[in-house]
A = this chain, B = another copy of it.
Amino acid sequence: MVLYIIGLGLGDEKDISVKGKELIDQSDVIYLESYTSILFISKDKLEEYYKKKIYEVDRNFAEENCEQILDEAINKKVSFLVVGDPLCATTHHDIILRAKKKNIDVQVIHNASIMSAIGESGMQLYNFGQTVSIPYFEGDYKPTSYYNKIKINLDNNFHTLCLLDIKVKERTIENIMKNKNIYEPPKFMTVNEAIEQLIYCESVHNENVITKNTLAIAIVRIGSKDQQIVSGNLFTLKTQKYNDPLHSLIICAPNLHDIEKEYFDMYSINETSI
């Protein structure tokens, strides 16, 4: 019948749009994707608010049992809920393609995303270059490809939005090999951890991308009541204590425009942390 892909926005149960809420009310089955991002409230809270049962979907399920969701959508109204704006990440493009191949009607309900909410930092969205993700180092696996992307942005006087890694319902390689569904505790990269990894990248590549003069802005729990926006140089930001994740990080362009400067000063560590 129909698959609704509904964005939940960034904060809590009331960040859904009125339209999205109405479609959930009409839906027969509701799935919640909970591995690319999270809201700052529990699934129970959502269920209480929607007065409906929600099935949580992890990466495994979405990739392997996607067909099950689609088969249901042939005869039912199925809502697939995604935190933020649903098509910001690459993850959910596949399910739409598959649905269209089965002639299932798909309707996307957009919502707030970190990609535009960072406008609240005062940095102009027009002045951002490519967005990068910073994945957790794991053992000897220490990818640094984002370092060069940040360098290109800095060279062009662009800001860089760094999205920080999230590990939810992940299994160790050992448990995957043994086919054991034992999940590691969730972890969410902090601004402090991200900066530490960036400093490591600098020590490997030595191209003066991450220096004492690199300005940055910590974006903490944006869209929630305990949101923090804290600006400073990277080394100062590394030593601060922030509210719980989710965190993101903006590496600022070397030359800020006037209004960007005003915002940077307004959010600077000296103003906000003392």
Q: Which residues of A contact B (CB under 8 A)?
A: 7, 9-19, 21-22, 84-90, 93-94, 97, 100, 108, 110-113, 115-117, 119-120, 122, 124-133, 152, 156, 158, 222-223, 259, 262-263, 266
Contacts of A15 in B (CB 8 A): 17-19, 110
Is the Cβ of B130 less than 8 Å from the Cβ of A129? yes
Contact between chains at A85 and B108 (CB < 8 Å): no
- New contact pairs (8) apart from A10-B110, A110-B222, CB-CB < 8 Å: A12-B19, A17-B17, A17-B18, A97-B262, A110-B223, A111-B111, A112-B113, A126-B130
Option from B19, B21, B88, B156 in Cβ contact (under 8 Å) with A116: B88
Shortest Cβ distance from A84 into B: residue: B116
Task: Tell me the smallest distance from the CB of A260 to a CB of chain B, in Å.
Answer: 9
Closest to A112 in B: B110
**CB pair B108 A120 closer than 8 Å:** yes
Chain B residues positioned under 8 Å from A262 (CB to CB): 97
Interface centre among A19, A110, A158, A266, by most chain B C-beta atoms within 10 angstroms, is A110
Partner of A112, one of B85, B94, B128, B156: B85
- B263 and A93 contact, CB distance less than 8 A: yes
In the complex, what residues of B have CB within 8 A of residue A18's CB? 13-18, 21
Q: How many copies does the complex hold?
A: 2
Set of chain B residues within 8 Å of A124, measured between Cβ atoms: 90
Q: Which residue of B lies closest to A121 (CB)?
A: B87
Instruction: Please give me the 10 A-B residue pairs with the lowest Cβ-Cβ distance, nearest first.
Output: A87-B119, A110-B112, A113-B116, A14-B19, A85-B116, A14-B18, A115-B116, A110-B117, A88-B116, A15-B17
Docked pose: A64 CA to B93 CA in angstroms: 45
Smallest Cβ-Cβ distance to A225: which chain B residue: B107
* A123 CB → nearest B CB, Å: 10
> What are 27 A-B pairs with beta-carbon distances under 8 A?
A7-B112, A9-B17, A10-B110, A12-B19, A14-B18, A15-B17, A15-B110, A17-B111, A17-B112, A18-B18, A85-B119, A87-B117, A87-B119, A88-B116, A90-B126, A93-B122, A97-B259, A110-B116, A110-B117, A110-B222, A113-B113, A115-B116, A128-B130, A129-B129, A129-B130, A130-B156, A152-B156
CB contact between A97 and one of B12, B89, B266 (< 8 Å): that residue: B266
Knowing A15-B18, A110-B116 touch, does A126 contact B133 (C-beta < 8 A)? yes
Instruction: Across the interface, name the chain B residue whose C-beta is closest to A110.
Output: B112
